[in-house]
C-alpha cells in the first residue's frame, strides 16, 4: 500500500467519524464518552488502513457488492515504466509529495513554536502548590490555563479567589487534556488538506471545556456562581495556543451545555453505531474490487482498461522475438521429449523488466521446481497469468498490482537453457493463446 492510498483511506475514515459525531453525539452530555469517541475514532482512522484481513475472511461474502480498487489511486500519480517517456526528474506524484511534506512540516514547526512561546510566557511564574498537579501564579493578566500537569493562574483569578477557575483547570490537569490537544495538533498537521480534521479538533477542544465545566461546577446551587465567573471571563484575554484555557471561544456553547438537561441514559445505545461504522470501513478498505481497473496512457489519452490481461509482459521491442509459440510441438530441451507448448517463450537479456499484463492480485511469488522463480497473477473473470524462469521477483504474494507495473526481471532460473520469459494465460485453468491478449 502506497502512502497516497493510506492518506485517502485515513481521510475517508475521518470524514465518517466526523459525520457520526455531528449527527449522533454532539449534543449529548456524556462528555467522557464523547472524549473517548473523538480520540478513539481518530486513532482507528490511522490504524484501520494498515490492517489486512485474512484472505479467507468471513467478510468474503460481501465481495460481490464491489469494493474499491485502491491501486487505481496509486496509478493516478505513478508513471508506468515503458508507456510514458521520462521528461524530467520530477513526476506529478513527487511534486505533490513535496508540497504535502512542506505544509506538514510547516504546521508541525508552527505548533512547536507556539508551545515554546507558551513555555517562555510562564518563565516568571511563581509556584504556590506542589505535588502531582502543580499550580503557578503569573503576574500578568493573561488568562488562566493548564498545560499537562501544571496550572497557571493569572493574578486576577488568584487575587479574586475565583474557585470555579481553580476547579475547572484542575479537571484539565487531572485528565491530561493537553495530551489530547498535542495528539490532535499532530493529526491536523498530517491531514491538513482535509477540512473535517479541523472540525474534529474544534470538537475535542469544546468537549474538554464541557467536561471540565460539568465536573467543576459541582452542586446545582453553585451553578449561578460558575456562570457569573464565565461571564466575567468573556472580556478577558485569550490566546489560541494548544493549551486548555478556562476562558475560551466556546463560552456561549458552554453556558448552553451547562444549563441543558442531562441526556437520558438510554441515549448511550447510540454509541453502538460505532460497530457498523467499523465494519463498513473494514469492508471499504479491505474488500478486493470485483474487477481491477487501471489507467493506461495510450497516445496521450487515458483509457479505462479492465483487469484482464491486456498487454505484452515485456518491453515492446521483444514482441517479435518469440522462440517457442503457443500450441507448437517441439522437443523439450531439458526432458528431450516431444511436447505441445502451452505458453510462449520470449528470449531476453537477464534483468529485462517484466510487467503485469493486467491488474490483479499476486497468487504466487516464489521459486518452484522446474518453473524457477515464478509469479502467478489472478485477474478478473477467472483469468490468471504465469511468468516463469525469472531472475528477480519484485512483488509479494497477496498484494495487488496494476497493468504495466514492474513485477520482476527476466532470468534463467529453473529448467531453462538461457535467459527468457515463459508466459502463460489461463481462463479458469484452460490455457489460452497469449497473443490474443496483447
pLDDT in tens, 322-379: 988 888 887 776 667 778 889 999 999 999 999 999 989 999 999 998 899 999 999 9
pTM of the complete model = 0.54
Average pLDDT, stretch 257-261?
A: 63
By the 8 A CB rule, do 391 and 352 touch?
no
Average pLDDT, stretch 91-103?
A: 79
Mapping DSSP onto H, E and C, the string for the chain reads CCHHHHHHHHHHHHHHHHHHHHHHHCCCCCHHHHHHHHHHHHHHHHHHHHCCCCCCCHHHHHHHHCCCCCHHHHHHCCCCCCCCCCCCCCCHHHHHHHHHHHHHHHHHHHHHHHHHHHHHHCCCCEEEECCCCEEEEECCCCCCEEECCEEEEEHHHHHCCCHHHHHHHHHHHHCCHHHHHHHHHHHHHHCCCCHHHHHHHHHHHHHHHHHHHHHHCCCHHHHHHHHHHHHHHCCCCCCCCCCEECCCCCHHHHHHHHHCCCCCHHHHHHHHHHHHHHHHHHHHHHCCCCCCEEEEEECCEEEEEECCCCCCCCCHHHCCCCCECCCCEEECCCCCCEEECCCEEEECCCCCEEECCCCEEEEEEEEECCCEEEEEEECHHHEEEEEEEEEEECCCCCCEECCCCEEEEEECCCCCCCCEEEEEEEECCEEECHHHHC
Structural domains for the chain:
3-115+166-285 (no CATH), 316-437 (2.70.70.10)
Is the confidence at residue 91, as pLDDT, over 60? no
pLDDT in tens, 167-225: 777 888 888 888 888 899 899 998 998 888 888 888 888 888 788 777 776 554 466 66
- Rounded Cα distance, 356 and 183, in Å: 41
- Rounded Cα distance, 348 and 363, in Å: 25
**Mean pLDDT for the chain overall:** 76
Written as nine digits, the cell of 107 is 504546521
Output the pLDDT for position 307. Answer: 67
pLDDT in tens, 49-75: 887 655 444 444 444 444 455 554 554
Amino acid at each position: 500500500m502506497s502512502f497516497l492510498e493510506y492518506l485517502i483511506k485515513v481521510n475517508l475514515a475521518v470524514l465518517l467519524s466526523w459525520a457520526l459525531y455531528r449527527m449522533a453525539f454532539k449534543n449529548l452530555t456524556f462528555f467522557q464518552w464523547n472524549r473517548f469517541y473523538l480520540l478513539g475514532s481518530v486513532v482507528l482512522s490511522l490504524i484501520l488502513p494498515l490492517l489486512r484481513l485474512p484472505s479467507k475472511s468471513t467478510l468474503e461474502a460481501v465481495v460481490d457488492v464491489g469494493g474499491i480498487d485502491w491501486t487505481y489511486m496509486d496509478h493516478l500519480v505513478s508513471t508506468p515504466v515503458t508507456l510514458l517517456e521520462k521528461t524530467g526528474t520530477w513526476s506529478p506524484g513527487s511534486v505533490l509529495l513535496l508540497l504535502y511534506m512542506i505544509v506538514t512540516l510547516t504546521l508541525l514547526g508552527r505548533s512547536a513554536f507556539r508551545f515554546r512561546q507558551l513555555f517562555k510566557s510562564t518563565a516568571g511564574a511563581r509556584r504556590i502548590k506542589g505535588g502531582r498537579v502543580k499550580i503557578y501564579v503569573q503576574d500578568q493578566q493573561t488568562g488562566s490555563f493548564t498545560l499537562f500537569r501544571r496550572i497557571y493562574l493569572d493574578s486576577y483569578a488568584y487575587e479574586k479567589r475565583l474557585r470555579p477557575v481553580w476547579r475547572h483547570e484542575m479537571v484539565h490537569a487531572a485528565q491530561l487534556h493537553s495530551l489530547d490537544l498535542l495528539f490532535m495538533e499532530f493529526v491536523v498537521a498530517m491531514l491538513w488538506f482535509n477540512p473535517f480534521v479541523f472540525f474534529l479538533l474544534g470538537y475535542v477542544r469544546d468537549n474538554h471545556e464541557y467536561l471540565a465545566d460539568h465536573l467543576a461546577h459541582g452542586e446545582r446551587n453553585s451553578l449561578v456562581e460558575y456562570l457569573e465567573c464565565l461571564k466575567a471571563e468573556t472580556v478577558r484575554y485569550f490566546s489560541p495556543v494548544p493549551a486548555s484555557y478556562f476562558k475560551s471561544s466556546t463560552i456561549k456553547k458552554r453556558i448552553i451545555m451547562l444549563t441543558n438537561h442531562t441526556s437520558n441514559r438510554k441515549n448511550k445505545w447510540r454509541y453502538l453505531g460505532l460497530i457498523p461504522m467499523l465494519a463498513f470501513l473494514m469492508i471499504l478498505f479491505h474488500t478486493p474490487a470485483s474487477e481491477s481497473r487501471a489507467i493506461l496512457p495510450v497516445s496521450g489519452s487515458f483509457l479505462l482498461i479492465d483487469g484482464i490481461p491486456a498487454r505484452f509482459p515485456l518491453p515492446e521491442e521483444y514482441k517479435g522475438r518469440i522462440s517457442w509459440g503457443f500450441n507448437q510441438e517441439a522437443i523439450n530441451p531439458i526432458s528431450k521429449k516431444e511436447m505441445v507448448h502451452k505458453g510462449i517463450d520470449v528470449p531476453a537479456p537477464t534483468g529485462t523488466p517484466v510487467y503485469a499484463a493486467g491488474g490483479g492480485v499476486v497468487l504466487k511469488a516464489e521459486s518452484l521446481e522446474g518453473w524457477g522463480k515464478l509469479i502467478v497473477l489472478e485477474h478478473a473473470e477467472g483469468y490468471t497469468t504465469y511468468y516463469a524462469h525469472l531472475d528477480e521477483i519484485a512483488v509479494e504474494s497477496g498484494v495487488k498490482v496494476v497493468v504495466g507495473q514492474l513485477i520482476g526481471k527476466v532470468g534463467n532460473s529453473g529448467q531453462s537453457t538461457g535467459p527468457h520469459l515463459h508466459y502463460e494465460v489461463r481462463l479458469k485453468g484452460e490455457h489460452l493463446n497469449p497473443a490474443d491478449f496483447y
